[in-house]
Structure 1
Amino acid sequence: MNSYTERLSWAMNELPQAQGRPAVGQTELARAVNVKPQSIQYLCDARNQAKGSRQTAAIARYLGVSADWLATGAGAPLGAQPAQNGMPNVAAVPPRPLAVWDNEDELDPDVYVFIPRLDVKAACGSDGKVMWEIDQEGQRNAFRRRWAERLGIRPDNSATIVAEGDSMEPRICDGDSLVVDYKQTTIQDGKIYALSWQGEFFVKRLYKEPGGVVVLHSDNEAKYPARRLLPEHLAELEIIGRVVAVSGGV
């Protein structure tokens, strides 16, 4: 990792995933260190050959890495044990939380929790609302219990769905498995939700603005501009649930 951008990308993506945590998105990091999302986007784009940032100390603190390492590449990423065999000093990658099986009886319920799928159907009828239901009959996904408990996942209130498209990249990629808590329908500023609006299904980060305005924000905002829903249009908005976990490939 010879460049600032490479080190920043590693600290935002590979490090948290190696520690069993979700990757950190550009918008999340920008809000955490009080800069515009475009500033973080600039630092993350290798074509800009960024040499650093005045916010490096704050960025490093939020990401849990050494500020000196992030700024210069000197020392260990976590500011503790030196790297060994050319590899950063990170904790061993935990087992993947998602398991595949032929029959639930093959898995130990003390080790795994089982979560059904969220079935979303296209809008029909005059109200233009997306139809959704929890598939209680089909095969469920199994997640390691310790992983689910660490993330606060409540299996009895949750369902899984596969993400489609690139509007939430880099935080959520096409094909990622999402865990949705369908009991959490009250908007918390900056959290990601599965939702229906005007007969379409979306996964978006939501923000509240004065006057009752709700903003549907895409992390890939350069390609997908935010949508501001005025109070008179909120009747067309249905919050299905909050996305509480993401599981994907590398």
Structure 2
Amino acid sequence: MMNERMKQRRKELGLTQPAVAKAIGLTKATVSLWESGSTSPKGENLHALAKVLNCTPEYLLYGETAKKPESNAEWAGGFETWDSDSPLGDDEVEIPFYMEVELAAGAGIAEAREYFGPKLRFAKSTLKRQGVNASHAACVKVAGNSMEPVLPHGSTVGVDTSHTEITDGKMYAINHDGMLRVKMLYKLPGGGIRLRSYNTEEWKDENISFEQLKNIKIIGKVFWYSVLI
């Protein structure tokens, strides 16, 4: 159970409930309710708690990967946009930020040669650590609740459009009949794929046969995400 993992992890680190609450900016009563299972952290609070407990949101939710991975994706907190007149720092690079889901799901995200809309800035060292070439990266917004609580509605993800080969369990942005979706992908026997959401209560696994794959284009692998509430 999530509350039990939370409590165990806190004790492993020698932290008290008041210390955890103070680090997140909440009350001890809130943390106490989380650990009792009466309520559970979501969105920004889930990510903040995972950071304090030196683990991933996935570990708290499902018991997967107790330590921070070198991973599929890393949470990087908030972000800002800049216009073309703002000077770049020595270790900065700009990546297109497609704010409209409809635009992101179309041909533009992967094929556009020129982009004049908003951009996000990344440290070159961050991209290098993830093995991402800035010229093949783009950021898009996530719509809907299928990836909650890890990716709430309105979250932003960074996508490496050069990485379309499926690694089981990793997050990918896909164009599914003209709709942008972010899902965990798994290969299936016979050439099909499985689409999996974090919100499994409302969104069951979708098995896509080899014949149905003509309706899906893998845009790229998610290498970064940011959550604002």
Distance 1:112 1:15 in 2: 29
Give how far 1:101 is off. Answer: 3.2
Which amino acid counterpart does residue 142 of structure 1 have in structure 2? R
Q: Percent identity?
A: 26
Contact 1:22/1:246 (8 A) holds in 2: no
Alignment-derived partner of residue 47 in structure 2 = 13
Structure-2 change in CA distance of 1:97 and 1:222 (3 Å): closer
Match of 1:131 in 2: 107
Q: Is the 8 A contact 1:205 1:217 kept in 2?
A: yes
Q: 2:82 aligns with which of 92, 96, 101?
A: 101
Runs of 5+ unmatched residues, structure 2: 1-30, 69-75
**Alpha-carbon distance change, 212 to 96 in structure 1, aligned in 2, over 3 angstroms:** closer
1:24 to 39, 44, 57: 57
Specify every segment of 5 or more residues in structure 1 that has no aligned partner in the other structure, as ranges.
Answer: 34-61, 65-94, 123-128
- Aligned-partner Cα distance in 2 for 1:22–1:120: 30
- Paired with 1:153 and 1:17, the residues of 2 have a C-alpha distance of 24
Alignment correspondent of 1:85: none
Q: Match of 2:204?
A: 225
Code of the residue aligned with 1:24 in structure 2: it is: P
Rg larger for? 1
**TM-score (normalised: structure 1):** 0.60
Size of the aligned set, in residue pairs, is 184
What secondary structure, in the 3-state scheme, does the structure 2 residue paired with 1:170 have?
Answer: coil
CA-based RMSD: 3.6
Residues 80-131 of structure 1 show CA distances to partners (whole Å, capped at 9, x for unaligned) of: xxxxxxxxxxxxxxx95633334454331x2322101347647xxxxxx943
- Alpha-carbon distance in structure 1 between the residues aligned to 2:150 and 2:116: 30
Asked if 1:241 is matched to 2:220, the reply is yes
The runs of at least 4 consecutive aligned structure 1 residues that moved more than 6 Å come to none
Instruction: Provide the secondary structure at the position in 2 that maps to 1:106.
Output: coil
Q: What is the TM-score normalised by the length of structure 2?
A: 0.65
Higher RCO structure (Cα 8 Å, ≥6 apart):
2
Within 2, Cα distance between the matches of 1:15 and 1:147? 23
